[in-house]
Chain A
Amino acid sequence: MSALGFNNSLGIHDNALLVRAERSQILANNLANADTPHFKARDIDFQAILRGEVERSKSLAVNRTDNAHIPGRMREESELLYRFPYQPSIDDNTVDPNVEKAQFTKNSIDYSSSFDFLNRKFKGLDGALRGQ
């Protein structure tokens, strides 16, 4: 593979961008359900996903050798976790709108920086292709 291939040159930033977008969806759902009884706030651990991504690129892939093998219903890069509430509420809802809003804002800034990294990669590729 040449150094100019998309998969090699974009690094981890395109995956990071997608995970950020998925996380914004989870946090938006938490905020939309801020007044739903019994709703439990959820989130994903971005660091764990990043670690999983690095591990996966190092380790060997597993194949199914028989049709009877059941594919695992698991996605190693994104496990949905439950948030620990700071305070219990009377209707069992664990959404703290302030915490969720802070996380959402932080996530959108992280999205923005991932986007900038990715954009720079494209600019670099563009410059290399032009040969200027």
Chain B
Amino acid sequence: MSLSNVINISGTGMTAQSVRLNTTASNLANAQSVSSSIEETYRARKPIFQQLQEPWHERDILAPVDLEHDVGEGVKVRAIVEKDAPLDIRYEPTHPFADENGYVYYPNVNVVEEMADMISASRSFTVNVEVFNTAKTMMQKTLTMGQ
């Protein structure tokens, strides 16, 4: 039944968006995690989304088109990557974590960008919840057929 697939698809959407929310929370929590070297400094993390689909080599090519597998089965988090932006290096000789030249290394977390990302993730999550609820109502209605 296609409607139970809708529930699975919106479930994958909710999972992906909550991973995005998790990375945003981690970035914001570590926005001030200073260190004394470039290597040790926290870098902002971003999830990369990809459409979830059955791979071509596992499909029967001669079989008729199967909508369930051709459409895609939702979304998955392909990877979580660290942002490539330069670190925020500040000259603070009195800071306890300053290196021998007096520099302190701050993470490359852009707080405004993270807040925007957070709102976007939360909206997308809500949309998936609404899709889930609608599919649930449709399924429950189908079960009452003939009563």
B124 & A97 in contact (Cβ 8 Å cutoff)? yes
**Which of these binds chain A: B22-30, B34-42, B108-116, B126-134?**
B126-134
B75 & A33 in contact (Cβ 8 Å cutoff)? yes
> Residue of A at shortest CB range from B144?
A119
B67 & A78 in contact (Cβ 8 Å cutoff)? yes
Interface string of A70-101 (1 = CB under 8 A from B): 11011100101000000000000000010001
Residues of chain B with a CB closer than 8 A to A26's CB: 67, 71
Cα–Cα distance between A110 and B30 once the two chains are bound (Å): 48
> Residue of A at shortest CB range from B70?
A80
Known: A21-B2, A32-B16, A75-B64. A112 touches B49 (CB 8 A): no
How many of chain B's residues touch chain A, expressed as a range? 35 or more
Return A122 CB to nearest CB of chain B, in Å: 4
A25 & B5 in contact (Cβ 8 Å cutoff)? yes
Decide yes or no whether A34 CB sits under 8 A from chain B. Answer: yes
**Which residues of A22-52 have CB atoms within 8 Å of chain B's CB atoms?**
22, 24-29, 31-37, 39, 42
Cα–Cα distance between A74 and B65 once the two chains are bound (Å): 6
Decide yes or no whether B98 CB sits under 8 A from chain A. Answer: no
A25 & B9 in contact (Cβ 8 Å cutoff)? yes
Cα–Cα distance between A17 and B109 once the two chains are bound (Å): 49
Return A48 CB to nearest CB of chain B, in Å: 15
Decide yes or no whether A118 CB sits under 8 A from chain B. Answer: yes
A24 & B74 in contact (Cβ 8 Å cutoff)? no
Residues of chain A with a CB closer than 8 A to B121's CB: 35
Decide yes or no whether A108 CB sits under 8 A from chain B. Answer: yes
What are 11 A-B residue pairs whose CB atoms fall within 8 Å in the complex? A24-B6, A24-B135, A25-B5, A29-B71, A33-B75, A35-B75, A73-B62, A80-B67, A108-B137, A119-B146, A123-B146
